Amino acid sequence: MTYDRLVCANCAAPVSEGRCPVCRANRERLQQQAGGMFAQLSPAMLVALMIVLIAVGVLLHQAA
């Protein structure tokens, strides 16, 4: 979930604006959670990785 659409229950402003301490704390927490394993990869890199995995799977299937 992205924080750009969340509304703070404390100040009723978008969390992405960080108007109050609650907004700022939640914005920081959500930004830290967003850094997953594949978050840094571009879509082109993900497609290339998928093609490589499919190719390895096909080669392993033919060898067996």
The helix (run of H) or strand (run of E) holding residue 58 is: helix 43-63
**For the chain, what are the domain ranges?**
1-33, 38-64
Segments of the chain with pLDDT less than 70: 1-3, 34-39
Does this model's pTM top 0.85? no
Residue with tokens 């967003």: 34
| pLDDT score at 53 | 97
> What gap in Å lies between CA 44 and CA 24, rounded to an integer?
33
| pLDDT score at 27 | 83
| pLDDT score at 21 | 92
| pLDDT score at 64 | 74
